[in-house]
A and B are shown apart, each in its own frame.
Chain A
Amino acid sequence: MIFLQLFITFFKIGLFGFGGGYGMLSLIQQEVVKNHPWMSSADFTDIVAISQMTPGPVGINSATYAGYTALQNTGADPWVCVLGSCVATFSLVLPSLILMLLISRFFMKYADHPKVRAVFDGLRPAVVGLLLAATLMLMNAENFGNPFTEILGHDFGGNPADTKQFAVGVALFVLTFVFTKGFTIGSGDKARKVKIGPIKMIVMAAIVGAVIL
């Protein structure tokens, strides 16, 4: 029963998704790509890309899209897929609704309690780890191509035809990282910060891909 599975999965993601939309991505990825055979890693990356480019919180966008894709990949009709995204989005929001209402109603006064803050202080470095894991898991052949057939006698199962895609992919990764993070050029009064927004970066990467890949 895929709807029940979707409900449980996205409820879990909503309940344990610390660190905002991006922190949630490693959870979503683990659940929908690894734990359930709902989509490929490339499907997931496409979902993240589209969630980035469209308005609204990334978490909601990707849950809606992932729910749709999960059913689409089973060959279901579009309206059944729509139901899938309803279930995914609703169950992602439900834990928030319950928790925030409980906090509003009963626990607001404990928000500054040392023990409560201790728990959040413990979570903070782990959330960094979650994001790091999401990044590492996405650095795979599906997203970058794999040109490596054999290194030091170890078979990597790649295809030499991927060499161009790999080189362009790595270059795009580095450029996007540098420009999205932003950097300062010049010094003193002349210093100015260079930064490009994520949407512009995605559009530029799409153009580069369409032209040379």
Chain B
Amino acid sequence: MPEKVPQSKPVQHPSQEPAQASNDVAVSRNIYLDAFLTFFKIGLFTLGGGYAMIPLIEAEIIEKKKWVGKDEFMDLLAIAQSCPGVFAINISIFIGYRLRRVKGAVVSCIGTALPSFIIILLIALFFHQFKDNEIVAAAFRGIRPAVVALIAVPTYNLAKKAKLTWKTAWVPIASALLIWQLGVSPILIIIAAGVVGYLVGRRGTRKVHEVAGIMDEQRKADESVEEEK
């Protein structure tokens, strides 16, 4: 199979000039503190998980702080979403690295995770006291089926976005059955899918930029829906 090496270089690499972006920022304040507080704010005000924070990151990081450019941000988004791990954490590590390499990455990462961590701990510390309360228990009997639906919806959306055809639809069905009925580890499924993908090769023509573009459109559509309300 002939391999096409991309001629243009769509993804700039940061490794050569990681600190460059920060040169534009005329901050006298400590950049570490600045990065920490910015990502803390992003972590604190994100409701509904990963993708909900993209507009917030854009407003803070691109427009206000100008830490990365819009195009570069789109590349980072596409890579961060393809990689394992928590999406918001991935993107904060990327941007932190742009600012101050490893130290910047660690600081941004902690900033993003800390609000969640503190809030959940506070809830966990006190929740068990209410858990046995009759009304709370009844409320959770109502919440549980709704939560299952909240996981079913992204399943549906992701299936739609993955553009499954009759040729590929068996993959998610078979993997789900293997995990659900036979107790196969999801990790094995992930590894097998990656290996098969590598062996079969790439047939589509999508580029990371286009993926980011699709995400952007999706987000705008979601936003317009929000506004209508």
Contact = CB atoms under 8 A, between A and B. Distances in A.
Interface of A: 12, 14-22, 24-27, 30, 34, 42, 45-46, 48-52, 54-61, 64-65, 68-69, 72, 78, 81-82, 85, 89, 92-93, 95-97, 99-101, 103-106, 108-109, 111-115, 117-139, 142-145, 165, 168-170, 172-177, 180-182, 192-193, 195, 197-199, 201-202, 204-211, 213
Contacts of B146: 49, 172-173, 176, 201-202, 204-205
B174 interface: yes
**B contact residues, range:** 35 or more
A176 B194 contact: no
Contact of A126 (B12, B13, B190): B190
Residue from A15, A58, A92, A199 with most neighbouring chain B CB atoms (10 Å): A58
B55 interface: no
B84 to A, nearest CB: 5
Contacts of A108: 11-15, 79
A181 B156 contact: yes
A56 B158 contact: no
A50 B139 CA distance: 13
Contacts of B186: 16, 26-27, 30, 130, 133
Interface string B25-69: 000000000000000000111111111010000000000000000
B143 A49 contact: yes
A16 to B, nearest CB: 5
Contacts, number: 408
Interface in B140-174: 140-159, 162, 164, 168-169, 171-174
A193 to B, nearest CB: 5
B136 to A, nearest CB: 8
Nearest to A29: B186
Listed from nearest, the 5 A-B pairs whose CB atoms lie closest are: A122-B197, A209-B142, A56-B116, A129-B175, A126-B193
B176 interface: yes
Contacts of B15: 104-106, 108
Given A92-B86, A118-B201, A138 B148 contact: yes
A113 to B, nearest CB: 7
B189 interface: yes
Given A128-B164, A180-B150, A181-B157, A60 B116 contact: yes
B153 A210 contact: no
A85 B142 CA distance: 27
Contacts of A95: 84-85
A16 B79 contact: no
A52 B150 contact: yes
B168 A24 contact: no
Contacts of B154: 22, 131
B159 A169 contact: no
Nearest to A24: B86
A123 B193 contact: yes
Interface string B69-101: 000000100111111111111100110011000
Given A128-B155, A199-B47, A177 B106 contact: no
